[in-house]
Chains A and B, each alone.
Chain A
């Protein structure tokens, strides 16, 4: 197992119904990835900002990404290969 740090902005299609946010599909390096499962999620409130973090399964791999509520920007943090 190899964890690669990415830390790049991504485009995201997310479902905000029911007062919750759920990643559905993201675009990274001109390629689209459908999220099949959300493995886990957590909220980070440190340092005066709020960010929603997710671990998702897409294209057979595990991806760690987050939404920064302050600047409404999605970023891809890591991919587990």
Chain B
């Protein structure tokens, strides 16, 4: 049979912890967490004790004293992820990969039944790579993702388009993409806790409550999701995509936790620059100009603040982006408290083809060419081959490998 719309969502279960358990048999069947400062990934054995990603390690050790804590190695995880995606590409012509999950488009692929395709894929990954994956199949991205969540761990689930609404009805509203804490609270105040109840509201009512997002909610609670209906062959987690992307990401983020909370302005700016240049390199590799920059900081007492700035003109230059990010940092960092976390997010992308170079000044052209030349060196010899700008301050303070500085949270060391 050939299905008109068949999207797969492949999620590597407890990715980092699963890799560690694969490589070190002594860890199998035991609670394992990967992270430094906070949990980046935890095994299903650890989750039974209430441990989850983002939890501070101190709290994790209190809940599960015999948990095995590993710092992890982003380089190894990346190699394993690529191996998993290589297997997936045999089943789907287009695959859009992230760090530990991927969307694939199997529309038109001849299969006996969708669950059989998913099961075959799951078995192949387990046999060839040794990692457990959950596979969700649906008519669109949202349904595929909801199906893979339901299939965890190590299962396969297909939600046919005809049964999507029926399947969603009893689920809590927060299962829908776009429903966060605030939206959930607003709906709960109206005694709407399930997706089925949300379906009872007319489109106009939801639009009145949530604006444009309300209209999307109206569709999504019926199993309709138009976001990127076609899956493009693109690697969003990787800086180097060998295939030109047909669908651009909405945001590109890089963030990390400091090894020790710090109030050293030079060090903070160095880290901000390093994260920003990594994000900008990713944007350039996807042929995107950046229109807006957000800087985010978290104080040692866990209070988090963020601010964003729309650039006067979209750019691909590190120096322009960093000037904006540093300005935002200066406006945000007002308290006399050390910082434990910093991050940047790039957004409002536009394709490079939209930006001519006719009116580019000579200094601007030189800066752009410099960025492109540095990218070329890094593509060939690894990101760590060149250390530039304010990130020079990180030399000697942080460990390095060919991928760059070794940050505290390996999951974020993209």
Contact = CB atoms under 8 A, between A and B. Distances in A.
Interface of A: 1, 37, 39-40, 42-48, 53, 55, 57, 62, 64, 80
A47 B19 CA distance: 22
Interface in B26-49: 26-27
A39 B19 CA distance: 10
Query: B24, B385, B402 — which one has the most chain A CB atoms within 10 A of its CB?
Result: B24
A57 B23 CA distance: 10
Given A46-B382, A47-B382, A62 B23 contact: yes
A53 B23 CA distance: 11
Interface residues of B, number: 20
Contacts of B402: 46-47
A42 B79 contact: yes
Given A42-B80, A43-B79, A46-B75, A55 B23 contact: yes
Nearest to B81: A42
A64 B70 CA distance: 15
Given A40-B130, A46-B403, A48-B381, A55 B79 contact: no
Given A47-B402, A48-B380, A62 B76 contact: no
Contacts of A64: 23
Q: 10 closest Cβ contacts across the A-B interface?
A: A47-B382, A55-B23, A42-B79, A47-B402, A40-B22, A40-B23, A62-B24, A40-B130, A44-B79, A80-B24
Contact of A80 (B22, B26, B75, B380): B26
A53 B26 contact: no
Nearest to B131: A40
A43 B128 CA distance: 13
A44 B19 CA distance: 15
A46 B385 CA distance: 12
Nearest to B23: A55
B26 A62 contact: yes
B356 interface: no
B83 A43 contact: yes
Contacts of A80: 24, 26
B245 to A, nearest CB: 20
Most B Cβ at <10 Å: residue of A39, A40, A45, A80: A40
Nearest to A55: B23
A39 B25 contact: yes
A49 B51 CA distance: 38
Contacts of B68: 1
27 contacts: A1-B24, A1-B26, A1-B68, A37-B25, A39-B22, A39-B25, A39-B130, A40-B19, A40-B23, A42-B76, A43-B79, A43-B83, A44-B75, A45-B79, A46-B75, A46-B402, A46-B403, A47-B380, A47-B382, A47-B385, A48-B380, A48-B382, A53-B76, A53-B79, A62-B24, A62-B26, A64-B23
Nearest to A42: B79
A46 B76 CA distance: 11
B271 to A, nearest CB: 22
Interface string B215-227: 0000000000000
Contact of B23 (A39, A44, A45, A47): A39
A40 B28 CA distance: 13
A40 B130 CA distance: 7
Contacts of A45: 79
A42 B27 contact: no
Interface in B191-243: none
Interface string B40-75: 000000000000000000000000000010000001
Contacts of B19: 40
A45 B22 CA distance: 21
Nearest to B26: A1
B329 to A, nearest CB: 30
Contacts of B380: 47-48
A36 to B, nearest CB: 11
Most buried by B among A46, A53, A64: A46
